[in-house]
Amino acid sequence: MDQINHSDPTCPFCPFSDPDISRVVEHVDVYHPEVDTQAEHSRQPANAPSTGTEECPGAYAECPHGCGEIVLDTEVAAHLDLHFAETVAFEDISSHQPELPVDVESPVSSHDAERRERLKERTPGLLPNEDRTPSPGSFVGGTKTPHRETAKRLGRTELGPHAHEKQMPSWLRRMLERGSMSIFTNTIASDGTLRRREAVENETRDVIPVLARLCEQDKSVQRAFFCSPKVHQISKIPKEGGFCGYRNIQMLITFLKETQLPGHERFPTELPTIFQLQDMIEDAWDKGFNSVGRVETGGIRGTRKYIGTPEAQALFSSLGIQ
């Protein structure tokens, strides 16, 4: 049995150790978020054996499905359920022609306040950290209000396991810069002409009509709420991790582009990338839109910090999109 080198860097919160200090730092970031250092030091025996393994309650774990997202141990099962549902939905989309059911175009906003409240209780928010309501010290709907003095830097609870990083790893940056793969196919239209269609790796059309049809056929579903069928489903690319807030903004942009609503002209070509969205949010903060977000996040450019509804609102408000 190999002898443990007690000179190796050791985690201050558990017996984990490694000769590479960077791995120890990464271990602390992932497995001990929001830990009170002084309290944990008082619990750690001075002569605790270093086993190289750890049992960390409330720890983060990487998705075993391979999507690259880091989730809490207690949420792994629910996260895998989402992967399963995603697979089933894609299989159904590829094998059926969507049929638009009645009222699928109706937006959720057309329902009364009581229905909206029930919907809010049953479904998660559109973006992560939706409880981060726009601060009083920011532009809300184009109107500036007095700055909130109590704004403070948020931690891993709100911003995720990489809340304090200054830059994402270079391999991830290169992967995101390459973007999603596009596949071009030739199809014959009903008039006999040849048309070339582009399919983007992580972008799927007609998801909402399929879901609406499935709910319509399911006798156990009493009521269902859907967004517009014109919205494209934007999924993550393998190994990218937790950029779902940016993907949700991209889905909102697909709705603007498909419906030609005011503001669609701001996105004349392809969807903005994650890095472009980060630049747009930072620019919105510079202009005073929900600028408290910069205080709360410490800046997001080039990082994997989670974003939420305030950042989405800042971006669209700065472009004049209400």
- Poorest-pLDDT segment among 11-15, 80-84, 131-135, 286-290: 131-135
Alpha helices by DSSP H, listed for the chain, are: 21-31, 37-43, 76-95, 113-122, 156-159, 170-178, 207-217, 244-259, 274-286, 292-297, 309-318
Return the minimum-mean-pLDDT range out of 31-45, 57-71, 241-255: 31-45
Residue 162 has pLDDT above 60, yes or no: yes
From 287, 292, 283, 286, select the one nearest 310 (Cα to Cα): 292
Q: What distance in Å separates the CA atoms of residue 266 and residue 246, rounded to the nearest whole number?
A: 17
Q: How confident is the model at residue 89 (pLDDT cuts 50, 70, 90)?
A: low
pLDDT, tens digit, for every residue of 255-277? Answer: 999 999 999 999 998 899 999 99
Sequence ranges of the domains in the chain:
1-57, 96-120+180-231, 126-178+237-322
Round to whole Å and give the CA distance between 308 and 44.
36
**How high is the pLDDT of residue 69?**
73
User: Residues near 152 by Cβ (< 8 Å), separated by ≥ 6?
Assistant: 295, 296
Q: Convert the pLDDT of each residue in 127-159 to its tens digit.
A: 555 555 554 444 444 444 445 557 899 999 899
pTM higher than 0.75? no
Cα–chain center distance at 70 = 11
- pLDDT recorded at residue 249: 97
